[in-house]
Structure 1
């Protein structure tokens, strides 16, 4: 039977086997500690300590009623600057800041119940290097039993997780800040969301204030979190003479971070300005400049958690946070600038539309008054020479009136004022009749006009006057740009809609120009045509009128081969109802289709086209 090893021999052998750390332990005056001399140590204490000293994993042993502290080399970094002074001392003397809560309750639970206790990522505020640190540990507490079955001490297997916990939390904060501020439209929205996010992470950001540039040299508090109302009032930067305003303005001007006393932001009211350890007040704040695309966007002020080292990873994290906020502000400022530009352009467009409408009205009235006497004089005049002069004046006035009416229609469309008066119409018959008006002009030009308009299965809801403008504009364009061959007008059902196609064998349009055909005042440069007069509004008006009927217009063209314009309109039974200008007018139109005043309206189009045929075909305009 093996005799138990002499305690004196066991302790000495244990220290000898532990190498350099064992030599350190052997040199301690243990008799002056609650543990007493090693010769008096019980076997379970020696055995447990031997296990610890041979392990590379961090372990600590707390022995006796005072929980005297023992630990191995793997745990010495956790003890920090208190190593090796802490060896043999009561835990309450080593770390008094965490003894009362929560460590003593852990120890007594294990001693009293003789059960294990596992605590993951436990947060502790510990002073290990002369200042409080926020630390996290994975700990497993095990009772160390004596021969009589009682617990003589507590063995702790410990892993510090501070780096992982803080890294994950800070990464989560940065990620949430970026995700929630992405796509925000104004700097104030960014400031509000940043305050919401940072306010939910008081361990990292005890309090914050986000100041935005309001005018040169001035900042305004756009959002805050964790500040008392008095603090927000005290830190309002519109008070130019306040010290905080001056210091923040200096940070913004120089673009360099600055440290401020927390009371300068809290107005001396520190109530509630604490970290996770309620006894530890926040004393400093860090002001970080926010540079947005080369310009100063503002200043982010954050309370500095005194439980983190003042430099190093915490400072780096705060600077990365400021850069993320600055990036979100930059995007919002860019969007805000685009919005302001868009509003300015929209206002300019509204002013232009109003101007065109006013000018058109001012021109149309005297033209109408001029045409009446002119046409009367033409009817009464029998002298050929005089009639020729009056006809020339009438053609010019009618052409000008046509251009004025087109300009007014386009201006109305731009202002959203086109309201078609819809009625069921035989689209094929109406289109064939309109095409017939232009037949004489095509024949005079030596061109063919093929009209293929068989009856459709259903009527189409149309505003007759608008449809006339659509067809006459398309035929006018076909004649203007066609020198050989001719044009074809076809109406057919296609894909549940009525389709009009106007195809010519004219000069065609370069593919690069097609996307711009429906832009106001745009004309294809260098295109060969019978006349280079025109406002560039014909196709624009066609598109506006077609869309007013819930229709679609498209253009296909090959340079040198011709152009096809396609207009698709819904049939009457599939058309979404539209309100007519008056109930009675709508009813009468639906019941009795009105006769068009077409000859008068078409005269300007046909006379203008006939005027193109008098001179020889025009040469291409200079590019």
Structure 2
């Protein structure tokens, strides 16, 4: 291992180092605040040499003015401040964040103790606008030969993409988790806005609008922040009138079927300051909310663009996925509502059917009762008349004029009455069954269980149909295996089951 320290010449101190090494070798250091390289302390020479030949972003802050010396890997952190930042005081280069890093650096100079910052938010201006950026870094003291602190050595890792990526991923994951939880469209919009409000950095402003069926009106469902002026977020918006900026934009999104970017927000809607430095919202994007078929547009989500981040492709992809999750949640809620309405309609039809069965059963029972009663009386009367009058008539009229007709034989009349009676009973059983069905549907039937010799009871019930079946030339066999103990059944229900099985 080569442990030789750099000597005093420029070429020796700035050996290697890539682009920054070449740039430093080309400078006339005597014209800089640090003076000629030969006058530098050995500690500074070693620190600069290590910095230049590292592939990790490193910077040396030297002297009370904290003059900047950095390597190639640190250039992206500077942005458009490079190469002017070389050999300039830190307070001049990083004026916008000096209230943070300046305090940390001067603390190192004063105490000789290192600092550590993890994912530190710094609002830097390195690309022409105030940018949200995150860094993990440590400021370590560089001691002179005298033991005093001559400067600070920094190793820096920019973590902006990771921090913002994790934040956006958390928002998308939360939206995805909520997609199937909402039972109404209102709930879906509320949950989405609540999630948006938890990431007010990437989504400083959001409106969710839904269209009516004719797409002539857009109605504001939810918004964040809640204190947006009504003039900025009107509700509803008549899409057939072109006197409002939202109308023209919404119509453009409907016609094109794609997102539309709004510029110069302060001119359109007035000032809307955002964040710690109260930068004004400059841009907003209007994204379509598509139906589940992905063909029709059912609404819009308007999202303000974080003024501290450029609207790059990653940001656009995040916003597109955000709108997609909102669309999925709304589609899921609408599907649930439609299914609920179908279920309610079916339940109403079922109730109507049960009510109809119950009413028609009662309507049938009344005339059947009125029919059965006189039929039963007539059958009893016929039987009584036949038993009393049949033979007496023959005795009394044996020698009288043959033109006197005997009474009509009541046997055919009895047979007809019996037929009408049997069929009325059968119809009554059907009506009772229909009424039982309506009671079961309405939940008003309660079984009464009692211990029963199920074999004997079933055999007895089935034997009622034996004669009719055998008269039809069929063989009727009832097989019931003996049971060890009585069975708890509702006797009337069991009778209906056996009767239905036997008659069908």
- Report the TM-score range of the alignment, normalised by the length of the smaller protein: 0.7 to 0.9
Instruction: Quote the Cα distance in structure 2 between the aligned partners of 1:222 and 1:430.
Output: 67
Q: Which residue of 2 aligns with 1:301?
A: 302
RMSD: 2.9
Contact kept? 2:6, 2:13, Cα under 8 Å: no
Q: Please give the TM-score of this superposition, normalised by the length of structure 1.
A: 0.68
1:181–1:193 CA contact under 8 A, matched in 2? no
> How far does residue 459 in structure 1 lie from its aligned partner after superposition?
5.9
* Aligned counterpart in structure 2 of residue 402 of structure 1, from 425, 429, 432: 429
Residue 316 in structure 1 maps to residue 317 in structure 2: yes
42 and 187 in structure 1: CA distance in 2 versus 1, 3 angstrom threshold: same
Give the equivalent residue in structure 2 for 1:544: none
* Inter-partner Cα distance in structure 2 for 1:260 and 1:19: 43
SS at match of 1:371: helix
2:159 maps to 1:150? no
Show the counterpart of 1:221: 220
**1:476-555 mapped onto 2 (5 Å cutoff):** 476-477=503-504
Q: What is the CA-CA distance between 1:250 and the residue it aligns to?
A: 2.2
Match of 1:449, SS?
coil
The whole-number CA distance in structure 1 between the counterparts of 2:477 and 2:269 is: 87
Cα distance change of structure 1 residues 198 and 370 upon mapping to structure 2, 3 Å threshold = same
Distance in 2 between residues matched to 1:66 and 1:119, nearest whole Å: 22
Deviations 1:512-544 (A, max 9, x none): xxxxxxxxxxxxxxxxxxxxxxxxxxxxxxxxx
Q: Does 1:113 align with 2:111?
A: yes
Q: CA deviation at 1:249?
A: 4.2
Q: Deviations over 1:135-186 (max 9, x none)?
A: 1222122111111111111111111121222222211221121113334322
CA distance in 1, matches of 2:284, 2:5: 62
The 3-state SS of whatever aligns with 2:34 is: coil
Q: What is the aligned counterpart of 2:188 among 183, 187, 190?
A: 190
Point out where structure 2 has 5 or more consecutive residues left out of the alignment.
383-408
Distance 2:168 2:261 in 1: 21
Q: Are residues 1:473 and 2:473 paired?
A: no
Q: Does the Cα contact within 8 Å between 1:232 and 1:266 map onto a contact in 2?
A: no
Supply the distance in 1 between the matched residues of 2:479 and 2:181 (Cα, whole angstroms).
54
Q: Aligned match of 2:131 in 120, 130, 133?
A: 133
Per mean C-alpha deviation after superposition, the further-off stretch among 17-26 and 126-135 is 17-26
- TM-score when normalising by structure 2: 0.83
Residue 78 of structure 2 corresponds to residue 79 of structure 1: yes
Q: Secondary structure at the match of 2:124?
A: strand
Q: Distance in 2 between matches of 1:160 and 1:308?
A: 15
CA apart distance, 1:454: 4.7
Q: Is the 8 A contact 1:424 1:461 kept in 2?
A: yes
Once the two structures are superposed, the pairs formed by residues 334-349 of structure 1 within 5 Å of their partners are 334-349=335-350
Of 210, 220, 229, which residue of structure 2 is paired with 1:231?
A: 229
Secondary structure at the aligned position of 2:464 is classed as helix
2:258 to 256, 259, 269: 256
Match of 2:91 in 1: 92
After superposition, the C-alpha distances for 1:520-570 in whole angstroms (9 at most, x for unaligned) are xxxxxxxxxxxxxxxxxxxxxxxxxxxxxxxxxxxxxxxxxxxxxxxxxxx
1:385 matched to which residue of 2?
412
Give the aligned partner of residue 365 of structure 1. 366
Larger radius of gyration: 2
Structure 1 residues not aligned, in runs of 5+: 478-623
- Relative to structure 1, is the Cα distance of residues 330 and 252 closer, same or farther in structure 2, using a 3 angstrom cutoff? farther
Quick check: 1:97–1:126 contact (8 Å CA) kept in 2?
yes
Question: In 2, Cα distance between the equivalents of 1:351 and 1:15?
Answer: 94
Q: 1:88 Cα deviation (Å)?
A: 1.0
Q: Secondary structure at the match of 2:199?
A: coil
Preserved CA contact (<8 Å) 1:227 1:266: no
2:204 maps to which residue?
206
In structure 2, distance between residues paired with 1:36 and 1:161: 35
Q: Secondary structure at the match of 2:368?
A: helix
Bigger Cα displacement from structure 2, 173-182 vs 84-93: 173-182
Give distance in 2, aligned partners of 1:225 and 1:459: 67
Check conservation: 2:141, 2:150, Cα contact below 8 A.
yes
The offset of 1:295, in angstroms, is 3.0
Q: 1:411 to 1:260 in 2, by over 3 A?
A: farther
User: Are the counterparts in 1 of residues 179 and 332 from structure 2 also a CA contact under 8 Å?
Assistant: no
Change (3 A) 1:200 1:5: closer
Aligned partner of 2:450 in structure 1 is: 424
Provide the C-alpha distance between the structure 1 equivalents of 2:5 and 2:350, rounded to a whole number of angstroms: 102
Contact 2:379 2:414 in 1 (8 A): yes
Distance apart, 1:87 and its partner CA? 0.7
CA drift of 1:328 comes to 2.2
The alignment of Structure 1 onto Structure 2 pairs a total of residues equal to 466
Q: Residue 478 of structure 2 corresponds to which residue in structure 1?
A: 450
Structure 1 pair 227/90, CA: closer, same or farther in 2 (3 Å)? farther
Once the two structures are TM-superposed, the CA of residue 267 in structure 1 deviates from its matched residue by: 6.6
